[in-house]
Amino acid sequence: MIEAVVLLGRLLSGLACLLAVGYGAARWLAPGFSRLELAAAGFGVGTLLITLWMLALSSLDQSFHLLLVAAPPLALVSGLWLGKKLAVLGRPPKPPTPPSPPPVSAPVGFWDILFLSLLGALFLFAFLRAVLYPIWAWDGLATWGFKGKVFYLRGSVDLTGFEAHNYYPNLVSLTLTYGYLWLGRVNDGLVKMVFPLWGGGLLLMLFGMLGRLGLSRTQSLGVAAFLALNGLTFITHLHIAYADLALSYYTLGAAGLTYLWLTGAAPPRTLPLAALFFAGVTWSKFEGLPLAGSILLAAGLTLLWLRPPRLSRRLASLAWPVVGMLAGYLPWRLYAAAHGIETGSDHILGFYPHQLLQVLPSFALALINPWYFGLLWPAVALALVVRGKKLLTTPSLYLALFLGGNFLAILLAYAVAPTSPSEFHLYVRATLDRLLLHLTPVAALLVGEALKDVGEEHEVGLV
């Protein structure tokens, strides 16, 4: 019992270190966000920076040791903050601004308590389910969790002697390795605590984004609970060692922050922070690069269609996400090239139009399957109707373009998947819910926008 408490304390210390790195970096980049928003973003930013640092250590032929892995990122963030403080000290003091009255927050009501209780019960289950069970699902055993153990035992990103989709990016595997370093041993259960934290960070980010878009606290909590509790896909990924929840988290950060910027609801320097999430998208999973590209394409097309003031300058600002996308993609590609790790050809070998026709019924059924996502995708369809003409006259066009473009990309991905006819339906069943999971947090933003429209129409009707 005492040993278990000690191990838990060590892991919590490691997670606190990770959060401190990410929170400090996020606040240094974009101080206009609230502490809650920065904490939600900080978990992912810290994970990104530390795992990229671990990849750099392997590139330099340095073995993983706890102090070497954790201390430099902490020192870097501390140095950035110290430099910022010294720069402020060197400037003439600004005249004091008159204090503004504190914001008036609505009292906590029945629906707030209900939504928070439901989410609390969900995450209590998720943490217990993660901690009390070892890594068991196939991709966790054979890919992400397996490589996490190998990297810990070998002390580096060493992929010699086995084949476990070796060309895949390694953010998730190195996050597990980081947890093992703090524990001082391999412990599948405790280290899986990072997956509920990714889910919690995702919902906190969604809550903050919805609030910035004008939804009330109750509405924002309701949409977050609606996303989390519709179907079993999100719940399942809170406690299995797959990369899809991490990719969903970074996709929301990249796409959601870009949307806030398009709507004008984002604080200054949001795009540099979004760039870190673009890096997380491409460093999380093989599918991350086209997913990040779809976000940029949707943003660019939206700007060209709406033609806001200073269009050229706004288009040029998208260079931040482009740099972030490459920062998450190129280090691994360069490392793989230097170590003779070939990009696998098991995803694309040709074009099979009959598979495109075969997948259409499965795709349609997945959108309404209550076990997958409950009523989420029907709610998205209803949201598109509610938004109506606003889809063509406001930045919400971006959300529709992102979702529609990725729906098409998923269908085309199955048309190039090199599977045998007898295995194709099994391949679709094993992957379709995960591909849709990556899009669901952004879909929830569209549901929130429609909910705001309904609320505004109701208020107008009462006047």
Asked if 157 and 276 sit in the same domain, the reply is yes
Residue 234 lies in a domain: yes
Of 340, 375, 404, at which residue does a domain stop?
340
- Within a domain: 399: yes
pLDDT score for 346 = 54
pLDDT at 97: 46
Q: Is residue 304 part of a domain?
A: no
Give the residue numbers spanning the domain of 406: 345-463
For residues 334 and 349, state if they share a domain: no
Q: Identify the CA nearest to 178 among candidates 53, 264, 268.
A: 53
The answer to whether residues 281 and 193 belong to one domain is yes
Q: 14 and 45: one domain?
A: yes
What confidence score (pLDDT) does residue 87 get?
73
Q: Are residues 369 and 274 in the same domain?
A: no
In a domain? residue 99: no
In a domain, 451, yes or no: yes
What is the rounded distance in angstroms from the CA atom of residue 27 to the CA atom of residue 295? 24
Q: Is 21 part of any domain?
A: yes
List the alpha helices (DSSP H) in 213-310. 217-229, 233-237, 244-263, 270-284, 288-306
What's residue 463's pLDDT?
A: 41
- Structurally, the chain folds into a number of domains equal to 2
335 and 437 together in one domain: no
pLDDT for the residue numbered 102: 47
What is the model's pTM? 0.95
Q: What is the pLDDT of residues 255-287, one digit of tens each?
A: 999 999 999 999 999 999 999 999 999 999 999
Say whether both 135 and 246 belong to one domain. yes
User: Distance (Å, rounded) from C-alpha 327 to C-alpha 265?
Assistant: 26
- What pLDDT sits at residue 96? 53
Q: How far apart are CA 453 and CA 390, in angstroms?
A: 10
Residue that finishes a domain, picked among 306, 340, 374? 340
Domain presence at residue 108: no
* Closest C-alpha to 406, from 281, 308, 305, 318: 281
Cα 360 from Cα 117, distance rounded (Å) = 38
> Does 391 lie in the same domain as 332?
no
Residue 48 lies in a domain: yes
Q: Do 232 and 136 belong together in one domain?
A: yes
Residue-level pLDDT at 343: 74
* Residue 137 shares a structural domain with residue 191: yes
Looking at the fold, whether 155 and 249 belong to one and the same domain comes out as: yes
State whether 242 and 386 are in the same domain: no
Regions of the chain short of the pLDDT cut 70: 88-105, 344-350, 457-463
* DSSP annotation of 463: -
